[in-house]
Structure 1
Amino acid sequence: MNALPESSAGAERAGYWHSDFSAADAVAAGTDYADLTCDEQRALWVAFLPEEGLNTIIEWTPQGTRRLTPAGYGVRSRVYEYGGGAFCIVGEGVVFVREADQQLYRQGFASQQCMQLTDAADRRYGGLIFDALRQRVIAVEEQHHGGEVIHRLVAIDLQGNRQLLAEGADFYNSPCLSPDGQRLAWIEWQRPELAWTSSALCWSELDSQGLPGRVERWGNQESLQQPLFNDDGELLCLTDRTGYWQPWRQNAAQQWQLLPSQAADHAPAPWQLNPQHYLALADGWLALSWSEDGYGCLALRHADRDEERRLAEGYTRFRALAHNSTDLFCLASSPECSAAVLHITLASGEVSVLAQAPSVLKPGDISRPERLSYQVAQQETAHGFYYPPRNSQVKLAANERPPLVIFTHGGPTSACYPVLDNRIQFWTQRGFAVADLNYRGSVGFGRAYRRRMQGNWGVTDVEDVLAAIDHLAGHQLIDPDRVFIRGQSAGGFTTLNSLVRASDRFRAGASLYGVSDPLQLRAVTHKFEGDYIDWLIGDPLSQPERYQQRSPLEQAKAITTPVIFFQGMQDAVVLPAQTEQMVAALQEQGVPVQYVSFDQERHGFRQPQNLQLVLEKELDFYRMYL
């Protein structure tokens, strides 16, 4: 790790540093992108506009960039609640999922008019791809009917007529077509398995009506994702059967072989529909992205010989890869850039930036991530990133060690990345150090590391939080007597359980729509996560003591640390009542508590004024206990 900033006499105390980088600036810099795709003339992507709190489709051509989606039309799928694949190109226009009603709409590139294709109030759509041969959109359909949630693969033509393609599985993802349009492949899995524990790759020939015939399947207690066909019609897929999500290819003899690639995860867990972290290009080339010790890499690699060309070096996260005959497009981030749309010329590797999230921070004010690897229980290694305090106008006083804010990511089968996160910069600008943790159970470090969370939620993650404090304190990078912890959703569960386990280690904590009672969450959670809590903790019938021991609500008497809670009143994942019970339990025993609720927010805040208020309230709360 790098040394802390040089000390200077008379500096403001860390945690109270003045910064012109306000909470409003941090929120305004929260632009993000998703669902990138392209054809030979253009690239399109979904942009989240924090000032409007909605998603819109952006179109780029060599002549310039414009907003395609008309006013009043937000673009977002809510299939599986996390969405993905919310639009696709259909000839001279797009078909997209409108956020307000989850129905499909068609819009031409030359028109602001939108034609509704579906009108079923009990159904949602996502994972869209275009079947050009039959002029139809293939999608994952989610139907809410009589308390039951049913998922299918369907086709909707450009007049709104529907065909059923596949049903019977609990979940579907990533439909894809062969270049000649004659074969369809997809991923499916059954409860109680999860997308990242065990799934199957399915494929079938399509008949004259465009319907699947006999379905072939591949997969044996492994997680498969992101199938695609190359130009020769060969089927490829990522599977973690070797311990990492790596690309495999099926040859003409129907045999599968591992393709040349790094022994590393080439994708995160598939929480959303239609992720794309690798591509099959012309002449046997692959575009691959993967994770090395938490840092993302991108390269061209040949499928039949050991030849690799690194691309876009300096960026540390890649997703949503797309290509045409001459160009590669992707979404990327770096320690200096929270989100960008990259255009890469395949022949030369030249990179140009088509769009980039704004930031008012100057390079000298950006705290850059430093790799954090440290020993935890049972001689294992946990990972994360350390951000030292950084403000060009202020430095640490002589011999002062900064207070620490620990970030615990949600999921928990997810990850944090070494990219510009303006929430982190908000804290480092004010003299706090930040530890952004990829505790055991996070993705990006292989199947074994990911499965360490199985049955251990609230144990291994908490061990890793406490070990991170010891590690950083041992290297004199933080003041161990001024430690704070925050988490969102599942990260809130880790935060609260850390306070249960070692309340005396923390000055204060923040739970943003965090889980405080896993049994309550289990009772109301949606289908996609219907078996997740059992995987994370255990069967509540045969192992009820685990739920008792790991419920922050049941163990609230062990918490003496002040806590601030933030909750959306429209949250259907962590219900407001769950948070309010936790607040009441702490108040009853005299623990200082603040509770901030937002009437119109769901699970994950989106309105800019609310996001700004969260940062301001949290800072004020921590400063009461510095």
Structure 2
Amino acid sequence: MAEDFAALSVEDAVRASTSFDQLRAGDGALYWLETRPEAGGRGAVTRWRPGEGIRSISRERFDVTSSVHAYGGGTFAVVEDTLWCIGEAGLYRSRRSSDQLEPITQGRFGDLTVGDGELLAVRESEQGDEIVGVSLAGRTQVRALVASTSFLGAPRQGPGLLAWVAWSERDMPWDACEVWVAPYLPGGDIGSPRKVAGGSNESALEPRWGPDGALYFMSDRSGWWNLYRWNGDAIDAVGPIAGECAAEPWELGYVSYDFLADGRIAMVVQEGPRHRLVVVEPDGAVRPVNVPYTSIKPYLAAQGMTVSLIGSSPTAAPQVAVVHLADGHPRLEVVARSEHGELSAAQVSTPTELRIGVPGGREVVALVYPPTGSAADWCAPLIIRAHPGPTASCLLRLDWQAQFFTSRGFAVVDVDYLGSTGYGRSFRESLYGRWGLEDVDDCAAVANYLLGVGRAVPGQVFIRGASAGGYTALHAVSKDGPFAAATAVSAIVDPDRWAETVPRFQRAHATRLRGGAGRVRAATVRRPVLFIHGTADEVAVVEDVRELADELAALGVRHELLLLSEVGHYVATSSRAGAALEAELAHYRSVTAAAVVGSGDHKAASGSCSRT
């Protein structure tokens, strides 16, 4: 292995992982949720207004967070001088004129939005979901508007109407989701509802009322999530495109499109690992907007002739930026940057896109990060990363955890295996019943290709994954293949048991995925494993990992178990993210050192490659 090249410290890697989410606009200002690992992963609502700069408007040390549907979303809304926000105990209100944070009601809430004189929200219980209205003035009252034993989301007010989405407990919202509307009577009841779109083979998402009074929404009825318009009678496609114009809805409150003052619509499009910003003209023409970002979060916020976004690229950490679109020549105004801001390509490892053919006539797409500062013909120890989800994707953006390893002589490779998003509905569904098989084969195919072209050091190829990716990594070292060791973070171990213990939102996901490789069994694990798991993980319970680790110990299989006290499912944004990174690095180095000692090949200490 090469010597460290300007190695990124673990403290810098953690501090640089600041997250911006839930961007909103109103009253000439921008608001977003800012999460910093060094602050223990607490969420804070931040405001930017021209001439005033940036300031936090939520209470210090209060964590703005939501556990609705396990993954949260839509955790705040600003109404005049009042911040409404969600904390661990429920819904809160904070008036600018007061230092008090007033608790309103307990429960799991999300998707806060402003209705007609009241705050609209989704409230979840084990019995089902409700869309509720909370009075904005006077005595605070909470009333149920819509109730279901299944799932609800996206309450959006229109002209005397309310729109929302609904999906059953047998489905995930990216499998089958419906858009509904009903008369919205302030202070009274909701009228008779009517289904507009969606069904057993259609995912309809993100309803929003346009300035023309029509209801817009995303649907994958064409095989791609595209924008549609309902005028109360007919449904028409708006700017059809062979790309994903919506993100897989793990959280509530996504905004993948918004309306400009001149009748155009700003929209984010994902094509594989890349995002781009486009505008849809009134005649349906789709025109690209030149911005320096390859990754754009599903939180657009339009005001007048500007659209604000959260974007990043391989050399730019996440930024909040305003794109001015008034004169046909887009102008970018960056209003907030996360730690380290922009870097030159020489300071970081810039990924390249790799496409390789696999059996079945399809391609696997991967992003390859070479060791920082390496020559064009680099060869290095290799870390294959299976993204979580598995209904998710690798993204072309500045990834500080990748930089932590590339600055230490590793190459890092993110794989968009079968089932990833960004490639249409058919590709997304293809892993159902094949989990632990096709995803493992795709990761191994990428590793074997890089070994074959002399980019990877034989015997020093590792695989790591978090959550569902951890399940993929464990199965990858449970069969013959290129991997010398695995790191499994917040890993799922047994799909059948996971289907019983996972929060209700994801039970349908577990049911549809399972049926492939089955439970990870200690007797089949052939390579060293590092487990990293939070003791407070409610998505993938720690007991399954403890049990597998005990079974490996009884069989004498080399492994380590790092338990992170009071850490939940998201290790990378927790206060223990640094400890996890250091443990992973030590794991790879120890496996490499053991292999060198065992083989007696001292040349392997610095890596050796063979090209075929």
Q: TM-score, normalised by structure 2?
A: 0.92
Could you tell me which residue of structure 1 aligns to residue 108 of structure 2?
A: 124
Given candidates 571, 581, 598, the residue that maps to 1:615 is: 581
Taking structure 1 as reference, are residues 405 and 202 closer, same or farther at Cα in structure 2, changes over 3 Å only?
A: same
Could you tell me which residue of structure 2 aligns to residue 89 of structure 1?
A: 78
Taking structure 1 as reference, are residues 93 and 373 closer, same or farther at Cα in structure 2, changes over 3 Å only?
A: same
Q: Quick one: distance in 2 between partners of 1:350 and 1:162?
A: 43
Could you tell me which residue of structure 2 aligns to residue 381 of structure 1?
A: 363
Contact 1:294 1:418 survives alignment (8 Å): yes
- Per-residue deviation, residues 154-198 of structure 1 (Å, max 9, x unmatched): 1111332011111125001111112x4x11101101121111111
Contact 1:297 1:313 survives alignment (8 Å): no
Taking structure 1 as reference, are residues 587 and 451 closer, same or farther at Cα in structure 2, changes over 3 Å only?
A: same
- Per-residue deviation, residues 346-372 of structure 1 (Å, max 9, x unmatched): 314211111111128952121112112
Q: Quick one: distance in 2 between partners of 1:210 and 1:285?
A: 35
Post-superposition offset of 1:448: 0.8
2:584 alignment partner AA: E
Could you tell me which residue of structure 1 aligns to residue 527 of structure 2?
A: 561
Post-superposition offset of 1:279: 1.3
Q: Quick one: distance in 2 between partners of 1:86 and 1:506?
A: 41
Which structure has more relative contact order (CA 8 Å, sep 6+)? It is 1
How do 1:409-420 and structure 2 match up within 5 A?
409-420=387-398
Q: Quick one: distance in 1 between partners of 2:75 and 2:377?
A: 52
In structure 2, the residue corresponding to 1:237 is in which secondary structure?
strand
Could you tell me which residue of structure 2 aligns to residue 300 of structure 1?
A: 279
Post-superposition offset of 1:337: 2.2
- Report sequence identity in percent: 28
Post-superposition offset of 1:462: 0.7
Runs of 4+ with deviation above 4 angstroms? 606-609
Q: Quick one: distance in 1 between partners of 2:573 and 2:417?
A: 29
- Per-residue deviation, residues 537-571 of structure 1 (Å, max 9, x unmatched): 24xxxxxxx5xx42113xx2222211111111112
Task: Provide the aligned length of Structure 1 versus Structure 2.
Answer: 583
Post-superposition offset of 1:470: 2.0
How do 1:38-437 and structure 2 match up within 5 A?
38-53=25-40, 54-62=42-50, 63-98=52-87, 100-101=88-89, 103-118=90-105, 120=106, 123-131=107-115, 133-134=116-117, 136-143=118-125, 148-158=126-136, 159-178=139-158, 180=159, 182-207=160-185, 209-217=187-195, 218-220=197-199, 221-251=201-231, 254-306=233-285, 308-348=287-327, 349-359=330-340, 362-363=343-344, 364-391=346-373, 395=374, 401-437=379-415
- Structure 1 gap ranges (5+): 1-12, 539-545
Q: Quick one: distance in 2 between partners of 1:426 and 1:187?
A: 40
1:445 is the counterpart of 2:423 = yes
1:30 alignment partner AA: S
Taking structure 1 as reference, are residues 460 and 166 closer, same or farther at Cα in structure 2, changes over 3 Å only?
A: same
Contact 1:169 1:189 survives alignment (8 Å): no
Contact 1:30 1:50 survives alignment (8 Å): yes
Taking structure 1 as reference, are residues 619 and 173 closer, same or farther at Cα in structure 2, changes over 3 Å only?
A: same
Q: Quick one: distance in 2 between partners of 1:288 and 1:409?
A: 25
Q: Quick one: distance in 1 between partners of 2:581 and 2:349?
A: 18
Q: TM-score, normalised by structure 1?
A: 0.90
Post-superposition offset of 1:338: 3.0
In structure 2, the residue corresponding to 1:505 is in which secondary structure?
coil
1:193 alignment partner AA: D
How do 1:532-611 and structure 2 match up within 5 A?
532-538=509-515, 546=516, 549-553=517-521, 556-605=522-571, 609-611=575-577
2:539 alignment partner AA: V
Q: Quick one: distance in 2 between partners of 1:567 and 1:483?
A: 22
Contact 1:411 1:489 survives alignment (8 Å): yes
Taking structure 1 as reference, are residues 19 and 371 closer, same or farther at Cα in structure 2, changes over 3 Å only?
A: same
Taking structure 1 as reference, are residues 202 and 402 closer, same or farther at Cα in structure 2, changes over 3 Å only?
A: same
Post-superposition offset of 1:299: 1.6
Q: Quick one: distance in 2 between partners of 1:605 and 1:112?
A: 32
Contact 1:238 1:248 survives alignment (8 Å): yes
Could you tell me which residue of structure 2 aligns to residue 10 of structure 1?
A: none
Q: Quick one: distance in 2 between partners of 1:615 and 1:208?
A: 52
Q: Quick one: distance in 2 between partners of 1:297 and 1:82?
A: 25
Q: Quick one: distance in 2 between partners of 1:400 and 1:258?
A: 47
2:209 alignment partner AA: F
Q: Quick one: distance in 2 between partners of 1:360 and 1:280?
A: 29
Q: Quick one: distance in 2 between partners of 1:49 and 1:584?
A: 34
Q: Quick one: distance in 1 between partners of 2:463 and 2:181?
A: 46
Post-superposition offset of 1:532: 1.4
